[in-house]
């Protein structure tokens, strides 16, 4: 499937994911065949992007033949085998303004940059869930499979060229502790690699990240989309014990290093002693790496916190550079994560409404955007692309919900 703007939709396109409003009301269900009236409705609802099935992925319908009258049997020969069609050549797409070719205008496709390939992410997330859901407090049989999973994640990340030189798209989502654990693992692994940690240190960070919130499974306190600081004191105290619960469950596991166990226990501790469960300031750099990623991802998915937008969460991390975490760790994080994920609706300093089409490596705050409305709110149907690296007069002023 691929993400396209509503202006690029055509009759016959097939919706690949449910199209929902901010309140999760479903507007179009997966599998819906697009008609002109649907496109107009999406515009009215201020929906700018949707996922559609990629034509290359759709199975071809078998050709139907008209029945023929029976013929006198003839000598037959073996049918010729159809020759396979050569695969279409893939060409890199550069983030530059669309060019006109005669009367036709080329389209700049949207490009999402993820840390793990989509199919790998789904497989790993499912495996993490299976392993952790079978875990019962202090009964850790099978938990060691997490070590293999962490190694596989590292291997997949290292397969990519210039993996630490890219800017990655991370979106807000619901509070799922298994997806959260995977997200923390992948970002923390990237930071470890970017900072030049040893392979063993990066592995310890990866495996600890996958089980860092194991203690949440023992809580009866509701933590989804809840700011724990606003809960009754008793519930706050219980929630802040979850790192201790997790550490107690894994402290005798010989397959885990002491560094990994320390990360599990201290991932909520801060350099200024404002963290928990112990409120100490003896926080290792490996633990700080996981702590940065955990804080960010909790904010965008709503685990123990009220959910906020990606750019707000990034600003929160930036504000505590050198206070909660070492400044070079925060700097590495800021270089890796897109401030405005692809597909985001943004308002420019000129009053125009745009859609983030793709990221510019090394410039997480300066993506390539497509203008869809002018400053007067009038729709722009032609493709107007602005690369914020090339046009420095344009600045994103706000994210539009």
312: tokens are 């707000």
Residues of the chain with CATH 1.10.3210.10: 118-336
Give which of 361, 362, 296 is closest to 325, Cα–Cα: 296
289: tokens are 């790496």
69: tokens are 């009258």
Q: How far is CA 99 from CA 105, 272, 382, 385, in A?
A: 6, 53, 12, 10
pLDDT of residue 24 exceeding 60: no
Decide: 302 and 165 in contact? Cβ < 8 Å.
no
19 confidence band (pLDDT: 50, 70, 90)? confident
d(CA 327, CA 26): 42
pLDDT in tens, 127-176: 999 998 887 655 677 899 999 999 999 999 999 999 999 999 999 998 99
Give the DSSP letter of residue 239: H
d(CA 373, CA 363): 24
Where does 1-57 sit in CATH, by number? Answer: 3.90.105.10
Residues of the chain with CATH 3.90.105.10: 1-57
pLDDT of residue 102 exceeding 80: no
Question: Facing residues of 52 across strands?
Answer: 2, 15
3-state class of 384 per DSSP? strand
pLDDT in tens, 292-341: 999 999 999 999 999 999 999 999 999 999 999 999 999 999 999 999 99
Task: Specify the fold of 118-336.
Answer: Hypothetical protein af1432 (1.10.3210)
């Amino acid at each position: 499937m691929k993400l396209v703007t509503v202006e690029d939709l055509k009759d016959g396109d097939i919706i690949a994911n449910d199209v929902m409003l901010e309140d999760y009301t479903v507007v179009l269900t997966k599998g819906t065949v697009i008609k002109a009236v649907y496109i107009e409705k999406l515009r009215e609802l201020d929906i700018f992007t949707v996922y559609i099935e990629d034509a290359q992925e759709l199975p071809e319908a078998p050709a139907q033949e008209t029945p023929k009258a029976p013929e006198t049997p003839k000598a037959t020969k073996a049918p010729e085998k159809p020759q396979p069609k050569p695969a279409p050549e893939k060409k890199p797409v550069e983030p530059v303004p669309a060019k006109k070719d005669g009367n036709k205008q080329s389209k700049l496709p949207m490009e999402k940059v993820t840390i793990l390939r989509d199919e790998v992410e789904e497989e790993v997330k499912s495996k993490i869930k299976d392993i952790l859901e079978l875990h019962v407090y202090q009964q850790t049989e099978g938990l060691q499979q997490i070590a293999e999973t962490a190694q596989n994640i590292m291997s997949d990340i290292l397969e990519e060229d210039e993996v630490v030189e890219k800017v990655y798209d991370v979106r807000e989502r619901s509070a799922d502790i298994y997806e959260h654990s995977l997200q923390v693992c992948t970002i923390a692994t990237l930071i470890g690699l970017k900072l030049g940690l040893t392979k063993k240190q990066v592995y310890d960070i990866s495996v600890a990240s996958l089980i860092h919130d194991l203690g949440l499974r023992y809580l009866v306190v509701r933590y989804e989309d809840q700011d724990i600081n606003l809960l009754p004191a008793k519930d706050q105290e219980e929630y802040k014990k979850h790192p201790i619960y997790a550490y107690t469950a894994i402290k005798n596991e010989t397959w885990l290093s002491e560094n990994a166990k320390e990360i599990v226990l201290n991932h909520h501790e801060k350099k200024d002693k404002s963290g928990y469960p112990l409120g100490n300031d003896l926080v290792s750099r490996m633990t700080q790496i996981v702590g940065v990623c955990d804080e960010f991802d909790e904010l965008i998915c709503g685990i123990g916190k009220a959910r906020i937008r990606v750019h707000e969460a990034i600003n929160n991390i930036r504000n505590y550079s050198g206070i909660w975490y070492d400044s070079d760790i925060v700097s590495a994080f800021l270089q890796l994560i897109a401030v405005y994920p692809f597909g985001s609706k943004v308002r420019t300093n000129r009053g125009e409404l745009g859609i983030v089409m793709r990221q510019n490596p090394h410039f997480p705050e300066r993506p390539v955007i497509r203008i869809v409305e002018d400053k007067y709110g009038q729709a722009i149907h032609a493709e107007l692309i602005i690369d914020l690296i090339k046009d420095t007069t344009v600045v994103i002023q706000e994210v539009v919900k």
